[in-house]
Amino acid sequence: MKTWKRNAVIAGVLVVVCAGIYLNWLYSGSTPELTQTLDADKVLGEATLVLNDTTQLDPATPVSSTSDSTEHFAQMRLSRQTARDEAVTLLQETIAYAEGADTSETSRKLERIVADALSESQIESLVIAKGYTDCVAYISDDGISLAVAAPEEGLTQNDVSLLADIIMSQTDYKLSDIHIVGVE
């Protein structure tokens, strides 16, 4: 007798939930789009970042963007900073909870994140000082990527050479580890 009552209650709740979903769909008039469902500010828009994996240093092909270039770079910086902040917080918690344990590996990772952030900042400052409108540098284990606001005529071989020289002067990466992307 108990199982019958329990099953009846579960069936009743299921019917009410299904009816609510149906009524919501019926009165909304259409299915929601992805940008309506998600927080619209967190969707990056139509811009696409393409990294060139070839080892040759050809002029980078500009990437089309329907959003404002300044907003694109600001979003890239925010995304990079958010990921870095989460990693730093995790490493700091690991060090704090590892009482007496060997935390030298974690400390080295934390120092590397800070050093990479400093290098990225220096590269971005030098690139902007050379007359480019905006840029974002991102250092990873595989190399370094630099997204730079391309001039109207696009990035030339001289531009790419100058940017690669700036990166190599601030880091220990080889030319084959550098990826430069022009953003229109």
Asked which of 37-46, 86-95, 131-140 is least confident by mean pLDDT, the reply is 37-46
pLDDT in tens, 54-77: 434 344 444 444 456 778 788 888
In angstroms, how far is CA 72 from the centroid of its own chain? 11
Looking at per-residue pLDDT, the higher value among 44 and 87 belongs to 87
pLDDT digits (tens, 9 = 90+) for 72-119: 788 888 888 888 888 888 878 777 777 666 777 888 888 888 888 888
Determine the Cα–Cα distance for residues 139 and 79; give it in Å rounded to an integer: 13
d(CA 88, CA 94): 10
Tokens representing residue 13 in the block: 């709740």
Q: pTM of the full predicted structure?
A: 0.56
